[in-house]
A = this chain, B = another copy of it.
Amino acid sequence: MGKPAFSDFVSIRDFTKEQINEIMRNAAKMVPYARGEKKTNVMSGKILGTLFYEPSTRTKLSFEAAMLRLGGATMGFSSTAGTSIEKGENFSDTIRVTESYADILVIRHPLEGAARLAADLSEKPVINAGDGAGQHPTQTVLDLYTMLEAKGKLEGLNIVLLGDLKFGRTVHSLAEALAMFGANLTLVAPSSLEMPRDVINQIESMGVKPNYAHSLEEAISDADILYVTRIQKERFADPTEYAKVSGSYRIDTKLLKQAKSDISVMHPLPRVNEIDPEVDRTPHSLYFRQAANGIPVRMAVLCMLLGVEP
């Protein structure tokens, strides 16, 4: 084991462009292992503790698969039912006990800041797998990695971010990271779900001035990537308003005919009705690839946090 590349993975804001590039280079090396084409045991004897204070089976499975593909083991909880937390235990006690059982912790928590607190408390590395309206940094890296893999570069790419830009957690860090990498951003959101002002400010401070499109057709006309997010019904007080919005933001092959021929469509999944299944069978579809890329990216992050040669 070598020296860890960094001590925790809490927010994408903690990392430089060069560090993110290094994670992505390591992720690329992980691909044959992630697919099970090659075998490694570098994490043999190591334990990943998965502390999911709110359920997120998909994210949990992705981290578990990453650890198992490296030859390591996992244990943890997928909700607070039946845990000491229900018996009144405070967050820091749970962290201090479970860090003595595991080598590395991945935490999902409904409250923003929880992963940061855990990282401060724990001597073992902590990965943030989503903290409320806060960060979900491995999602951001796998999004960047998927774009880079598909387009060969990030700088100068025209990227449309579509949907719930207000509450969609992943899209805030993604927008900031894309700005750092010099991509051009176009934002398309219903007026009640627009990108928060502080994220815009952050992006603009990095020298990127996002565009705002009046229509989806206009937005995608010169886009390289259309990044779609789920619009949650429960965000709308008025169901007819939801129906109107979700209908006008539905991606199908007819719409994509108005875009560049090599436009790629991404989505962090799960999707509900945002993308017509007919798009799945076209070369535009990148979202299943994106989900699969979660494994090599998380493998790279696990290795770098534990100082294991990837």
Residues on A close to B: CB < 8 A?
36, 39-41, 44-47, 49, 55-58, 61-62, 64-65, 68-69, 71, 73-79, 81-84, 87-89, 92-94, 96-98, 100-103, 230, 269-272, 277, 288, 291-292, 295
Contact = CB atoms under 8 A, between A and B. Distances in A.
Q: Give 3 closest A-B pairs by Cβ, nearest first.
A: A55-B82, A89-B270, A100-B292
Given A47-B36, A87-B272, A272-B88, A61 B73 contact: no
Given A36-B103, A269-B89, A83 B57 contact: yes
Contacts of A92: 277
5 contacts: A58-B84, A61-B101, A65-B75, A89-B270, A93-B270
A46 B36 contact: yes
Nearest to A39: B45
A56 to B, nearest CB: 7
How often does this chain occur in the complex, in copies? 3
Contacts of A45: 36, 39-41, 69, 71
A6 to B, nearest CB: 19
Nearest to A66: B101
Nearest to A73: B68
B100 A81 contact: no
Contact of A78 (B58, B73, B74, B82): B82
A109 to B, nearest CB: 14
Nearest to A36: B103
B271 A89 contact: yes
B269 A102 contact: no
A82 B57 contact: yes
